[in-house]
Structure 1
Amino acid sequence: MGKGMGSLRRTDMCGNLRDTDEGKEVVLMGWVQRERDLGSLVFIDLRDTTGITQIVFNDTLSKEIFEEAKKIKSEYVLAVQGKVRKRESINKEIPTGDIEVLASSFKVLDESETPPIYIKDDDKVSENMRLKYRYLDLRKPSMQEKLKMRSRAAKVVRDFFYDNDFLEIETPMLTKPTPEGARDYLVPSRVNEGKFYALPQSPQLMKQLLMVSGLDRYFQIVKCFRDEDLRFNRQPEFTQIDVEMSFVDVEEIININEKFLFKLFKELKNIEISLPIKRMTYKEAMENYGVDKPDLRFDFKLIDISEFVNKSEFKVFSSTIEKGGSVRGINIKGCSDKFTRKDISSLEEYAKIYGAKGLAWMKITNDGITSPIAKFLQEEELNSILEKMNGKAGDLLIFVADKTSVVFDSLGNLRNEIAKRLDLIDKDDLNLVWITEFPLFEYDEEEKRYVAKHHPFTSPMEEDIELLETEPEKVRAKAYDIVINGDEMGGGSIRINNMDLQNKMFKALGFSQEEAEDKFGFLLDAFKYGAPPHGGIAYGFDRLIMTLTNSSNIRDVIAFPKTQSATCVLTDAPTDVSEFQLKEVHIKVDKKQDE
């Protein structure tokens, strides 16, 4: 049964006492990490959010109190009164290891059943159990440290943007469905029968309206919602640092955001980012690394060998080039002896995940080339490949031949996988790069039309505007992403603020004037009354915290996350609701019958 604290009031936190506190009378409160009954002595480790203090109960206490102390179990909630003294055997593993508290009295504030998971950092329990008992999982020091880092980061964000004259302004959670790249979460309206709100995928349109409103500089740490397939760095509800500025161009936005990133990593990790942050165009990133978010902590650049094998007898290469594709490879330097044929087959299976039909390879030894494809290549072709790829004895060369998009996707992801398998990635390294000059459009194979690479309000580069109607695939955007250690941390653009240009953009996207008005009418109306040049950026706050805490899963930096199937095993959401609730919002659920 839970009990009140009575007259006891906490004087200190468990992790803060030091040898300078010797002789001090204290009252500590917290959870029992572990207990040890040695007969004439009872030791407990008392834990709160700051750390652990060892408590000693001995037989100088009244017999009644001492016997009660022997009944204390793990995760009991206690208030303990006593005097700080030096420990006989010092524990150098914890900051309070020089001292202990000799208890004079205590009170059990609440008892605990045996927890279903251990409250320790090296617990190997399944993630599903961790999420089901998240309130226990969050008692672990490592989990608390991540949430503390998240809290400190939020303060740094606010301090920086307040100091730079940004206004923090909230935008609506119930808004209008708009096509922004992922499925909306829909909310039925009770008072407007048959109509729906959407939870915002981002505050994009609202922050642009704030610029039209003349508010000049805005930021917000905001929840966003996207009903999309989940992975290690995605959640259905996630947090953005959302930023927008008026009367700026790309350089000014990048400049102030570099100052923000410098402050963030300096204050939280004492790492000084080298400014200016290096930049790379989208084209350079794709050609060299196969992805628009390259991890630059290791090498393995993609190398195009198409010109040397376009007439090759090896038809996998030559016919691919004839059809408009390309052949590219990676030189895994000095690693030919680290990959068996079985290992190479494993790499091939990995490449197939990203659309590759196969993986060609060559091992270079002191005795020559070992490769199943070498016999199909002329000596001149082999020599040209080795020269272009800087192939030396001990190297392993791997190749993919396909549509260039497939080659990029498969080799771009494969280079990351190879670096992981070879343990080449220093987790303490921090590598930042701006990716610039994104294409304004990308071609959607399913819809057979061009769609916006970012969103329909991204401004094209002035020199490319004339290509909008004739060669849209060549139009570059005033868009930029900040990539840290191979993960997109943020992205933004300069927005269109001219109605004529906006209508050209809609036309290129295949929107009729009626469709544009239906989807975005409120923004287009606002643009009729004078919109300033404006642009901004949005950071994935959760992803930044992953980087700041060296976490490999986004769920570890969110207090109450969803599983990969977008469920909450703690609360059992989503769940059925009553017929009455459905009727109130004018919805009838058609449950499929088992066939």
Structure 2
Amino acid sequence: MNSFYRTESCGALRANHERKNVKLSGWIHRKRDHGQLLFVDLRDHYGITQCVVDPASPAFVILEHAPLESVVSVEGEVVLRQAHLVNTKIETGEIEVKAQLAVMLSQAAPLPLTVNSDEPFPEETRLKYRFLDLRRPKLHQHIVLRGKVIQFLREQMQSRGFLEIQTPILTGTSPEGARDYVVPSRLYPGQFYALPQAPQQFKQLLMASGFDKYFQISPCFRDEDPRADRSPGEFYQLDMEMSFVTQEEIFSILEPVLRETFLKFAPDEWQVSLENFPRIPYEKALEEYGSDKPDLRNPLKISNLCKLFHNSSFPPFQGALKKKGTIRALKVPGLAQQSRQFLKMLESWALEQGAPGLGYILRKSDKWQGPLVKFFSDDEQLELTREFSDIEGVGVCFMAGPCKEVEQFLGKLRTYVWKALNPEEEKVFKFCWIVDFPMYEEDPLTQSVVFSHNPFSMPQGGMKALEKISPLEIKAFQYDIVCNGVELCSGAIRNHDPEIMKKAFLIAGYADQEVERQFGALLNAFRYGVPPHGGAAPGIERILMLLCQVPNIREVVAFPWTQQGKDLLMQAPGPLPSARLKELHLRPLSS
């Protein structure tokens, strides 16, 4: 590196550069005035170098009064630090630069947030001054890691024969499960483009066009409510599609790509499971884990006790079974050894979740004890011992009621009680596939049949399944990848038969004319010969959230929006001048 402004970066100098005259440029990260000497930490994209400034040096006049985050250029000689002064926390910690000259390149105004610490600031401040926030070392490194991960993913896909192809950003509306962002047309009054929720139709059209393996790092736009793991606006995914493939063949591509990515970029103290990703059917995931996003580091599983208690006299169990509900239980090793205070904490938590309480039994002194034991017969207690073992210290928590409510509650309890018993997080990434998703589900408001996942998926059993099986019992060739309780990826084998597609949409309430209107290009392409195909789309931000161990997507996005869907930095959304509204054939809102 040799330019007008610098001969080295602030992260390059080592002991072997001793006595070399160098020129550095960067931001003043920190200053320490020790009376006879001024120490200045100079920071750029590559690292930090300590500069030492003698009051007799011409550089002292410039640097003494320079505010933090001012941009300066410093010239001087590289000198070794004394052994006891070596800073092992930075790569340049063996040396310092004895400053001789300094030039102020850009003086900083008073700072609205500190850059040289991780001191928390309100989200509004951080996003309004994101350019300052991004200078903070931790966030800066998150964005550096993002670039490296994307580059690595590209290399992984290209090495497997995938071709990177960009698909349109302005397109038509599509029912992907969320609201579209729409763009008014200037040339066609009253008509609108849409930003793609995903490149779904385009990547399928690429397969119809004869491109065998496609991928891109694709932006996706969804006008939906924000969540910690999804930005209100845009996000990016590794979008991929393949021709002439089965579900297992797609698995054989994606598993090593994700495993290798995590092996390369996982934090030093973290491990990556090297076993093949387990395949867990959707219904089994709900039954055993209470979630279709199970964290496999947690060994607790839920048991179905409907058969065991089919003759129970316990009123809550009787009532649940009469209403075609369920009785489930969570086995918790060590629960009986916990304090009464711990059990009261679980009971309070259950009430906060809307449950009437927490029913449990505990294995102590070779017998079951606890609030529910008196309601169980000797035979039922014997069966419980066979089901959950007679190991001292085991606890069993019960829940009865509608299946969905019971699954959700015990799924949350499974997570809560495991974290309470194991406050030190197991530092390993464990993956699994969730497979055999239902093709349809019942809308809770209208009781109508709607798509449950991806409307372009092939139903298992094809046309015969659509004609002979109840819609809510049809499975689809749909799958997710889950890592440590986070959904990383969704995908499917696609429906490539026009007649099966029409039938599938008809069941979900779409008439033929509506299907032709919304998906005419796709259907038309399929009429001219299309290979069986499928794909998936791992989320870039969710991969990074795991790798960086951050709870919110904003920590791995350079310029995110607020939770309210606003870009405070660029002041968007904002009004348009009346002339622009007229050009777009739009009327201003009345005041």
TM range (shorter): over 0.9
The answer on whether the counterparts of 2:297 and 2:426 sit within 8 Å (CA) in structure 1 is no
- 1:86 aligned residue: 80
Matching residue of 1:247: 244
* 1:238-269 residue CA offsets vs partner (Å, 9 max, x unmatched): 10110011111112111111231233223334
The structure-2 alpha-carbon separation of the partners of 1:261 and 1:194, relative to structure 1 and needing over 3 Å to count, comes to same
Equivalent position of 1:180 in the other structure: 176
Q: Distance in 2 between matches of 1:120 and 1:329?
A: 50
**1:10 CA displacement:** 0.8
> Mapping of 1:294-309 within 5 angstroms?
294-309=294-309
Matched, 1:197 2:193: yes
Distance 2:124 2:358 in 1: 36
Identity of aligned residues (%): 39
CA shift at 1:452, angstroms? 1.9
Determine which of 351, 354, 378 is the counterpart of 2:353. Answer: 351
Match of 1:139, SS? coil
Residue 193 of structure 1 and its aligned partner are, at CA, apart by 1.1
Distance 2:467 2:75 in 1: 75
**1:343-390 deviation per Cα after TM superposition (whole angstroms, max 9, x unaligned):** 1233214533xxx55532334443865544333333333343343233
Number of the residue aligned with 1:475 = 474
Give the Cα separation in 2 of the matches to 1:556 and 1:471. 44
Higher mean C-alpha deviation, range 35-44 or range 464-473 = 464-473
Post-superposition offset of 1:434: 1.3
Q: How many angstroms apart in 2 are the aligned matches of 1:346 and 1:48?
A: 50
Paired AA for residue 568 in structure 2: V
Q: 1:81 Cα deviation (Å)?
A: 0.4
Match of 1:306, SS state, is coil
Secondary structure of 1:84's counterpart equals strand
Once the two structures are superposed, what CA deviation does each residue of 1:32-61 show, in whole Å capped at 9, x if it has no partner?
111122232111111112221110111342
Cα distance in structure 1, aligned partners of 2:125 and 2:348: 31
Contact 1:330–1:399 (8 Å) recurs in 2: yes
SS in 2 for 1:83: strand
CA RMSD of aligned residues (A): 2.3
Counterpart secondary structure, 2:220 = strand
Between the aligned partners of 2:475 and 2:108, the Cα distance in structure 1 is: 61
TM-aligned CA deviation for residue 506 of structure 1: 1.9
Question: For 1:50-449, what aligned pairs fall within 5 Å after superposition?
Answer: 50-62=46-58, 65-88=59-82, 89-236=85-232, 237-269=234-266, 273-336=273-336, 337-338=338-339, 340-352=342-354, 356=355, 358-366=357-365, 369-390=368-389, 392-424=391-423, 426=425, 428-449=427-448
**C-alpha distance 521-380 of structure 1, shift in aligned 2 (>3 A):** same
Counterpart AA for 2:288:
N
Q: For the residues of structure 2 that align with 1:130 and 1:68, how far apart are their CA atoms?
A: 29
8 Å contact from structure 2 (residues 127, 569) kept in 1: yes
Once the 2 structures are TM-superposed, how far is the Cα of residue 391 of structure 1 from its aligned partner? 6.1
TM-score, with length taken from structure 1 = 0.92
Separation in 2, partners of 1:203, 1:156: 21
Q: Distance in 1 between matches of 2:414 and 2:326?
A: 18
Distance 1:277 1:122, change over 3 A: same
Contact 1:468 1:475 survives alignment (8 Å): no
- C-alpha contact (below 8 Å) 1:351/1:414 kept by paired residues: no
- Residues 334, 348 of structure 1: alpha-carbon distance in 2 compared, 3 angstrom cutoff: same
Task: Give the structure 2 partner of residue 3 of structure 1.
Answer: none
Q: Which residue of 2 aligns with 1:500?
A: 499
1: CA distance, partners of 2:390 / 2:467: 42
Structure 2 CA distance, aligned partners of 1:491 and 1:304?
28
Instruction: Return the alpha-carbon distance in structure 2 between the equivalents of residues 464 and 294 of structure 1.
Output: 32
1:217-236 superposed Cα distances (whole Å, 9 cap, x missing partner) = 11010110112222210112
Q: Is the 8 A contact 2:459 2:466 kept in 1?
A: no
Of 107-116 and 343-352, the range deviating more from structure 2: 343-352
Q: Is the counterpart of residue 34 in structure 1 residue 30 in structure 2?
A: yes
Query: Is the contact made by 1:467 and 1:474 (CA closer than 8 Å) also made in structure 2?
Result: no
User: CA deviation digits over 1:58-116, x for unaligned, max 9?
Assistant: 13424xx4333321221111100011001132222222111100011011111112312
Given that 2:62 and 2:104 are in contact with CA atoms closer than 8 Å, whether structure 1 keeps it comes out as no
For the residue of structure 2 that corresponds to 1:239, the secondary structure is: strand
Partners of 2:30 and 2:116 within 8 A in 1: no
Confirm or deny: 8 A CA contact 1:351 1:359 kept in the other structure.
Answer: no
Q: CA deviation at 1:332?
A: 2.2
Deviations along 1:538-572, whole A, 9 cap, x unmatched? 11111011122222211100001122222223233
Is the 1:211–1:534 Cα contact (8 Å) retained in structure 2?
yes
Distance in 2, matches of 1:461 and 1:184, equals: 29
Q: 1:326 to 1:121 in 2, by over 3 A?
A: farther
Q: What is the alpha-carbon distance in structure 2 between the residues aligned to residue 578 and residue 296 of structure 1? A: 54
Give the total of aligned pairs.
581
Contact 1:464 1:475 in 2 (8 A): no
Distance in 1 of aligned mates of 2:92 and 2:159: 37
Of residues 20-29 and 497-506 in structure 1, the stretch that sits farther from structure 2 once superposed is 497-506
Aligned 8 A contact 2:366 2:390 in 1: no
TM superposition shift of 1:577: 2.9
Task: Give 1:303 shift.
Answer: 1.0
Q: Distance in 1 between matches of 2:382 and 2:587?
A: 69
CA distance in 1, matches of 2:180, 2:466: 32
Q: Distance in 1 between matches of 2:45 and 2:262?
A: 24
Distance 1:390 1:565, change over 3 A: farther
SS of alignment partner, residue 303 of structure 1: strand
Matched AA of 2:274:
S
Distance 2:373 2:200 in 1: 53
Aligned counterpart, 1:48? 44
Deviation string 1:2-51 (CA, Å, 9 cap, x unpaired) is xxxxx942111112211111111111111111112223211111111222
Instruction: Give the residue type in structure 2 aligned to 1:268.
Output: F
Provide the rounded CA distance (Å) in 2 between the counterparts of 1:588 and 1:368. 75
Q: Distance in 2 between matches of 1:579 and 1:390?
A: 74
Q: Which moved more, 1:487-496 or 1:505-514?
A: 505-514
How far apart are the structure 1 equivalents of 2:424 and 2:526?
Answer: 47
- Measured in 1, the distance between the counterparts of 2:563 and 2:293 equals 23
Task: Tell me the residue number matched to 1:4.
Answer: none
- Structure 1 portions without partners, runs of 5+: 1-6
Q: What is the CA distance between 1:186 and its match in structure 2?
A: 1.7
Counterpart-to-counterpart distance in 2, 1:568 and 1:357: 42
Q: State which of 9, 16, 35 in structure 2 corresponds to 1:13.
A: 9
Cα distance in 2 between the residues matched to 1:427 and 1:571: 40
Question: Which shifted more, 399-408 or 564-573?
Answer: 564-573
Q: How far apart, CA to CA, are the structure 1 residues paired with 2:253 and 2:64?
A: 60
Q: Distance in 2 between matches of 1:589 and 1:381?
A: 70
Task: Tell me if structure 1 keeps the 8 A contact 2:126–2:133.
Answer: yes
SS in 2 for 1:340: helix
> What amino acid sits opposite 1:344 in the alignment?
L
TM-score computed with the length of structure 2 as normaliser: 0.93
SS at match of 2:198: coil
8 Å CA contact retained: 1:194, 1:586 = yes
Alpha-carbon deviations, 1:383-428, whole Å to 9, x = none? 4334323364433322221211121122113322333333456353
2-structure distance, mates of 1:181, 1:147 = 29
Structure 1 residues 180, 512: CA separation in 2 closer, same or farther (over 3 Å shift)? Answer: same
Whether contact under 8 Å (1:360, 1:400) holds in the other structure is yes
CA distance in 2 between counterparts of 1:589 and 1:273 reads: 56
SS at match of 2:180: coil
SS at match of 2:346: helix
Separation of aligned partners in 2, 1:101 and 1:473: 71
**Contact 1:54-1:101 within 8 A present in 2 as well:** yes
Q: Secondary structure at the residue paired with 2:574?
A: coil
Identify unmatched segments of 5+ residues in structure 2. Answer: none
